[in-house]
Amino acid sequence: MAGKLDKEREAIAAAERELVERRNRLVEMEREEREKELQRLVKKLTVESAIAILTRAVELKPKVALEALEAVGEKVAHRPQREKALEPA
pTM (two decimals): 0.58
Say how far apart CA 11 and CA 2 lie, in whole Å. Answer: 14
Cβ contact 68:76 at 8 Å: no
Say how far apart CA 30 and CA 32 lie, in whole Å. Answer: 5
Say how far apart CA 77 and CA 23 lie, in whole Å. Answer: 38
Task: Encode pLDDT of 36-74 as tens digits.
Answer: 998 898 889 888 998 999 899 999 898 998 898 888 888
- The structural domains of the chain, with segments of one domain joined by +, span 1-44, 47-89
Q: How confident is the model at residue 76 (pLDDT cuts 50, 70, 90)?
A: confident
Say how far apart CA 30 and CA 42 lie, in whole Å. Answer: 18
